[in-house]
């Protein structure tokens, strides 16, 4: 039998020779900026973060408690602060197809500025337009148009009366309209006297009345056309007044955004729509009777608003977003609905951004376990990364679970670096059973569980 040698007490610990150190206390040493013994993992993180190509997203794997989140966050804070700020992404109303809002890309910070400019434009027009349509000048021009058509009608009626008078026939104005009757001394002949007239005279009167009646019918037939012409001239007047006001205000904005063609196109569409809906500005409030109750509705002029999805100009550099609750809608965004008169309605201003929008142009940090636990979140994330676009669709709309009218927003181009954190088990399971995983997450940063004790590590 082999004898058991007793373990000496000095072997229960690994002694460190103090003579190898050149400092008196650790206060003389600089603070550590990295976790000890994770140089290989950090090299992988740097490699993956520096490559801005499709598929080079990162999977940071290793057991919990190794400081993965903190170390990666610290590295990204330093790196992202030196990168360019991403553009602002907004949604605008599509005046031709309202259910398909348009996406707008703007320089950093311009989204909030454009939204404020459009809000001030609408507020100004809501107060200025009613004043113009209540002015004396406007009333005078309306009266002139109406008087012109009234005088034309009266002139034609007067000509008919003069023609009838020559034939001893009078034109009578009745509550039902006009009537023609034989006359004597400019007064209608009573029926009993008319019966005593010679037949030859009666025949001549009937012939003259028939001719004048035909002439009267032509005049009356032109009345609807005249009314339409008068209405069109009044509409044109309203159009010109509204166009002048809107153009004046929008020209100021066009000078500010002269270098952004997409914004100028938006201003053109806004101008055309505002002019067509001049009555909304003239009478912004209207009453609706619902079940015996009068409800005053207010025009919100939502069509001219700017829905800013993402704007990161308040913090320099690229954004870094950590989504703690990565549900499908929290990742790709959603379209909300509001109840209006008992029905669910939506609008492009109710489009809400997801974590992908907020991290667009920067970095998105996710816990893979939390992503896999949320229905459809993993598939939604992969689809966005593969297409490099963010499609906002509700699950009910995708699977036809609801019949509520919804929107089809134009997809937002996506440029984001996704960094997943998780145990090695998730990494190898996804690599084995999800063929798309290796195409999207080509870089793995493996944090070591054991750190070798060497002479170099004594100084860390």
Whether the predicted pLDDT of 460 surpasses 60: no
> Minimal CA–CA distance to 310: which of 441, 415, 417, 419?
415
Question: For the segment 273-303, what is each residue's pLDDT rounded down to a tens digit?
Answer: 999 888 888 876 655 555 555 444 456 688 9
Whether the predicted pLDDT of 51 surpasses 50: yes
Helix, strand or coil for residue 319? coil
pLDDT confidence tier of residue 220, bands split at 50, 70 and 90: confident
**Which of the residue ranges 47-51, 69-73, 100-104, 192-196 would you say has the lowest mean pLDDT?**
192-196
Per-residue pLDDT, averaged over 316-342, amounts to: 88
* pLDDT at position 24: 75
Q: Which residues of 17-33 are buried (b: 16+ CB within 10 A; e: fewer)?
A: eeeeeeeeeeeeeeeee
Write down the pTM of the prediction. 0.78
Whether the predicted pLDDT of 269 surpasses 80: yes
Beta pairing partners, 418: 364
Beta strand ranges found along 17-130 (DSSP E): 58-61, 88-92, 102-106
* pLDDT at position 38: 63
Kindly list the distances between the CA atom of residue 453 and the CA atoms of 12, 421, 446, 458, in Å, as whole numbers in the listed order. 16, 27, 19, 7
Backbone phi and psi for residue 440, each to the nearest 5 degrees, phi listed first = -95, -30
Per-residue pLDDT, averaged over 363-387, amounts to: 94
* pLDDT at position 457: 55
* pLDDT at position 34: 58
* pLDDT at position 451: 63
Q: Where on the phi/psi map is residue 157: left (φ > 0), alpha (ψ -120 to 50), or beta? A: alpha
Please name the residue that has the structure tokens 């910070």: 109
| Residue with more model confidence, 311 or 383 | 383
Which of 111-125, 211-225, 442-456 is predicted most confidently? 111-125
Please name the residue that has the structure tokens 């593969």: 386
Query: Cα separation of 58 and 445, whole Å?
Result: 7
* pLDDT at position 295: 45
Percent of the chain residues topping a pLDDT of 90 = 36
* pLDDT at position 12: 74
* pLDDT at position 296: 44
Helix, strand or coil for residue 265? helix
| Residue with more model confidence, 11 or 332 | 332
Query: Cα separation of 8 and 17, whole Å?
Result: 19
For the chain, the distance separating the N- and C-terminal CA atoms, rounded to the nearest angstrom, is 45
* pLDDT at position 405: 61
| Residue with more model confidence, 17 or 79 | 79
CB–CB of 86/362 below 8 Å?
yes
212: number of CA atoms within 13 Å, CB side? 27
Whether the predicted pLDDT of 430 surpasses 70: yes
pLDDT confidence tier of residue 306, bands split at 50, 70 and 90: very high
Percent of the chain residues topping a pLDDT of 70 = 83
Kindly list the distances between the CA atom of residue 4 and the CA atoms of 1, 7, 105, 202, in Å, as whole numbers in the listed order. 9, 9, 77, 154
CB–CB of 215/157 below 8 Å?
no
Query: Cα separation of 301 and 347, whole Å?
Result: 11
Helix, strand or coil for residue 54? coil
Q: Which residues of 195-227 are buried (b: 16+ CB within 10 A; e: fewer)?
A: eeeeeeeeeebeebbeebeebbeeeeeeeeeee
Contacts of 307 (CB under 8 A, 6+ apart): 90, 91, 92, 101, 348, 349, 351
* pLDDT at position 297: 46
Angle between helices 199-256 and 110-133 in degrees, nearest 10: 150
Query: Cα separation of 286 and 298, whole Å?
Result: 7
User: What mean pLDDT, rounded, does the chain reach?
Assistant: 82
* pLDDT at position 263: 95
* pLDDT at position 210: 78
Alpha helices in 92-198 (DSSP H): 110-133, 136-166, 191-195
């Amino acid at each position: 039998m082999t004898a058991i040698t007793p373990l000496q007490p000095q072997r229960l610990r690994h002694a460190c020779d103090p003579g190898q150190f050149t400092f008196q206390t650790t206060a003389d040493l600089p603070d550590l900026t990295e976790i000890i013994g994770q140089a290989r993992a950090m090299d992988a993180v740097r490699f993956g973060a520096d490559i801005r190509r499709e598929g080079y997203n990162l999977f940071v794997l290793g057991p919990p408690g190794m400081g993965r989140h903190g170390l990666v966050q610290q590295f990204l804070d330093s790196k992202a602060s030196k990168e360019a700020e991403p553009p602002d992404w907004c949604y605008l109303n599509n005046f031709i197809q309202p259910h398909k809002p348009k996406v707008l890309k703007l320089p950093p910070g311009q989204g909030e500025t454009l939204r404020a400019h459009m809000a001030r434009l609408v507020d100004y027009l809501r107060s200025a337009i009613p004043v113009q349509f209540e002015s004396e000048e406007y009333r005078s021009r309306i009266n002139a148009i109406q008087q012109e058509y009234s005088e034309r009608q009266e002139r034609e009626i007067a000509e008919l009366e003069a023609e009838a008078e020559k034939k001893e026939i009078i034109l009578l104005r009745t509550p039902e309209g006009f009537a023609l009757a034989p006359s004597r001394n400019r007064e209608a002949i009573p029926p009993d006297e008319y019966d005593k007239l010679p037949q030859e005279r009666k025949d001549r009167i009937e012939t003259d009345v028939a001719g004048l009646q035909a002439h009267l019918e032509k005049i009356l037939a032109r009345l609807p056309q005249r009314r339409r012409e008068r209405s069109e001239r009044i509409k044109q007047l309203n159009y010109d007044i509204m166009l002048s006001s809107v153009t004046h205000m929008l020209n100021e904005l066009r000078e500010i955004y002269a270098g952004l063609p997409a914004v100028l196109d938006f201003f053109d569409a806004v101008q055309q729509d505002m002019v067509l809906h001049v009555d909304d500005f003239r009478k912004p409030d209207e009453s609706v009777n619902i079940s015996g109750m009068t409800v005053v509705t207010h025009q919100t002029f939502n069509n001219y608003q700017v829905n800013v999805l993402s704007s990161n100009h308040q913090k320099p550099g690229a954004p870094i977003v950590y989504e703690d609750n990565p549900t499908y809608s929290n990742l790709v965004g959603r379209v909300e609905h509001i109840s209006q008169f008992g029905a669910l309605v939506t609008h492009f201003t109710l489009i809400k951004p997801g974590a992908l929008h907020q991290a667009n142009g920067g970095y998105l940090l996710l816990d893979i376990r939390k992503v896999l636990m949320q229905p459809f979140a993993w598939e939604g994330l992969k689809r966005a990364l593969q297409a490099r676009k963010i499609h906002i669709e509700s699950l009910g709309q995708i699977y036809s679970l609801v019949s509520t009218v919804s929107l089809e927003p134009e997809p937002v181009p996506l440029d984001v670096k996704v960094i997943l954190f998780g145990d090695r088990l998730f990494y190898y399971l996804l690599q084995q059973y999800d063929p798309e995983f290796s195409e999207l997450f080509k870089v793995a940063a493996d944090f070591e569980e054991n750190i070798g004790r060497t002479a170099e590590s004594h100084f860390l």
